């Protein structure tokens, strides 16, 4: 009976967490697509300030994420999430009312820090409220709701904004702040199951925690792989790949919007169909397959920009590229995040989630800086470079698979063995090499 009650409590908590994910993504969707236009044109602060705002988001994340992991481990994910949400709400309101560069940059730094900490805190809550049997589906649902929320928020926000009216953007940022504050209320009522916390015991310093993480070679390899994943795909969506499409392939801005919509649509439509496929496959092989799919996507992008099939054919090829990226993302969402959780020793999920989020932010900061100029002017080298990076994902994934235990790489097989012996499935435990 106690196990049934615990399972019900975890299920109820997970439903609230998913509602929270959808709300936060919905709020972000209102403002993220229009931030550059808002700063540069609506507030009249110019392209340089707008670019600095985007850079501030990345810098703020890089500063707070190393601290966030330790805070999650010591205090638990919910208090850290609530603090991050309040910060994000204040930053969003500040951006809505800011009229000079200093106020805009300060508000962006607060909002960026809050958004960055939300990611590992929510991921750790999902880990705490799931089991080995339900974790892949939980993370797939999170990714599905995030993309759905961003898409719906962006669609509604696009009908509310008026570039001649700063007050319309103030309304957008106020709605975003309201979503964060509503999420504070929702998350305050989540009944979290007990999970191990690490107090201030000797040898448990922040430096010791990071040293222990870096001693886990499988986790280090996964972080390297994660950097390449985010650098070669996510870091190119709105920078190098879009610049390449416009400059090399002659894609119109409306067609670029269609390509981005195709990416989101692929994720929303394919997520749970893909989940059924990847749940019974080795995680390392799934990631390796994503590298091959993205390699095909880059080849198609090369045809769009470097081929001679006409504008319509180039547009269709470019839209297909974004759709293939979406298919790969749908395969990664139930694979990578649960693997990070399974590599983490007991009580260290927050630290590991924060470390992986830090790697993601680094890739997202470096990716546009490298890909943007290449995509705009060095068309053939750009395609070749990122085709090789995609193939590198496959190589790194295969190498990672050799270091993972059966529990980490094939959790479904281990659960089948346990059930066959008539015992309750055990939680996977990270193995440090």
pLDDT digits (tens, 9 = 90+) for 311-344: 788 888 888 999 999 999 999 999 999 999 889 8
**Gap between the Cα atoms of 378 and 195, Å rounded:** 51
Q: Six-digit token pair at 221?
A: 């390899």
pLDDT on residue 150: 79
The answer to which of 191-200, 202-211, 256-265 has the lowest mean pLDDT is: 191-200
Whether 8 has a pLDDT exceeding 70, the answer reads no
Whether 111 has a pLDDT exceeding 90, the answer reads yes
Instruction: Report the mean per-residue pLDDT for the chain.
Output: 82
Contacts of 422 (CB under 8 A, 6+ apart): none
Instruction: Report which listed range, 65-79, 85-99, 401-415, 418-432, is most confident.
Output: 85-99
SS3 content of the chain, % helix, strand, coil (to 5): 80, 0, 20
Q: Which residues of 208-233 are buried (b: 16+ CB within 10 A; e: fewer)?
A: ebeebbeebebbbbbbebbbbbbbbb
**Gap between the Cα atoms of 182 and 176, Å rounded:** 10
Higher local confidence (pLDDT), 221 or 59:
221
Q: Six-digit token pair at 307?
A: 């081929």
Whether 9 has a pLDDT exceeding 70, the answer reads no
Q: How far is CA 259 from the centre of its chain?
A: 19
Residue pLDDT, tens place only, 234-250: 888 767 888 888 788 78
**End-to-end Cα distance, the chain:** 38
Q: Six-digit token pair at 220?
A: 């280090």
The answer to which of 50-54, 84-88, 299-303 has the lowest mean pLDDT is: 50-54
Put simply, whether the predicted model's pTM sits higher than 0.85 gets the answer no
pLDDT on residue 364: 84
**Gap between the Cα atoms of 22 and 182, Å rounded:** 12
**Gap between the Cα atoms of 406 and 412, Å rounded:** 9
Whether 191 has a pLDDT exceeding 90, the answer reads no
Averaged pLDDT, 127-139:
83
Whose CA is closest to 337, among 183, 142, 193, 148? 142
Confirm if 70 and 21 have CB atoms less than 8 A apart.
no
Confirm if 123 and 207 have CB atoms less than 8 A apart.
no
Contacts of 333 (CB under 8 A, 6+ apart): 139, 140, 142, 143, 144, 271
pLDDT band at 202 (very low <50, low <70, confident <90, very high): very low
Confirm if 322 and 300 have CB atoms less than 8 A apart.
no
The answer to which of 84-93, 131-140, 220-229, 288-297 has the lowest mean pLDDT is: 131-140
What are the helix (H) ranges across 334-378?
A: 336-343, 349-377
Whether 6 has a pLDDT exceeding 60, the answer reads no
């Amino acid at each position: 009976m106690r196990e049934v009650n615990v399972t019900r409590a975890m299920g109820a908590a997970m439903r609230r967490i998913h509602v929270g994910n959808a709300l936060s993504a919905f709020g972000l969707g209102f403002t993220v697509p229009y931030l550059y236009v808002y700063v540069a044109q609506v507030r009249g602060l110019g392209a340089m300030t707008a670019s600095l705002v985007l850079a501030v988001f990345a810098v703020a994340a890089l500063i707070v994420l190393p601290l966030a992991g330790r805070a999650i481990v010591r205090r638990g994910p919910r208090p850290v999430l609530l603090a991050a949400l309040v910060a994000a709400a204040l930053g969003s309101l500040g951006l809505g009312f800011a009229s000079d560069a200093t106020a805009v940059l300060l508000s962006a730094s607060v909002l960026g820090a809050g958004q960055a900490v939300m990611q590992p805190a929510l991921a750790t809550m999902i880990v705490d409220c799931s089991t080995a049997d339900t974790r892949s589906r939980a993370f797939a649902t999170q990714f599905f709701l995030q993309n759905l929320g961003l898409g719906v928020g962006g669609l509604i926000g696009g009908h509310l904004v008026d570039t001649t009216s700063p007050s319309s953007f103030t309304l957008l940022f106020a709605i975003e702040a309201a979503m964060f504050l509503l999420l504070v209320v929702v998350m305050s009522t989540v009944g979290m199951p007990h999970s191990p916390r690490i107090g201030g015991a000797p040898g448990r310093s922040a430096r010791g925690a990071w040293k222990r993480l870096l001693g886990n070679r499988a986790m280090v390899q996964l972080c390297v792989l994660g950097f390449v994943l985010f650098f070669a795909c996510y870091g190119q969506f709105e920078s190098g790949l879009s610049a390449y499409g416009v400059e090399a392939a002659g894609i119109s801005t409306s067609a670029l919007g269609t390509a981005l919509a195709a990416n989101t649509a692929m994720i929303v439509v394919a997520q749970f169909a893909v989940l059924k496929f990847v749940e019974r496959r080795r995680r390392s092989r799934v990631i390796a397959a994503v590298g091959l799919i993205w390699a095909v996507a880059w080849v198609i992008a090369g045809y769009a920009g470097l081929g001679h099939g006409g504008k319509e054919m180039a547009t269709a090829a470019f839209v297909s590229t974004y759709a293939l990226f979406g298919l790969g993302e749908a395969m990664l969402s139930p694979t990578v995040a649960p693997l990070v959780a399974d590599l983490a020793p007991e009580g260290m999920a927050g630290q590991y989630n924060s470390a992986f989020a830090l790697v993601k932010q680094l890739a997202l900061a470096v990716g546009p800086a490298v890909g943007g100029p290449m995509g705009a002017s060095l068309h053939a080298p750009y395609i070749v470079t990122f085709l090789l990076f995609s193939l590198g994902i496959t190589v790194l994934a295969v190498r990672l698979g050799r270091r993972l235990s059966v529990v980490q790489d094939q959790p479904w097989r281990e659960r089948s063995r346990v059930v066959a012996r008539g015992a309750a499935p055990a939680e996977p435990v990270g193995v440090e090499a």
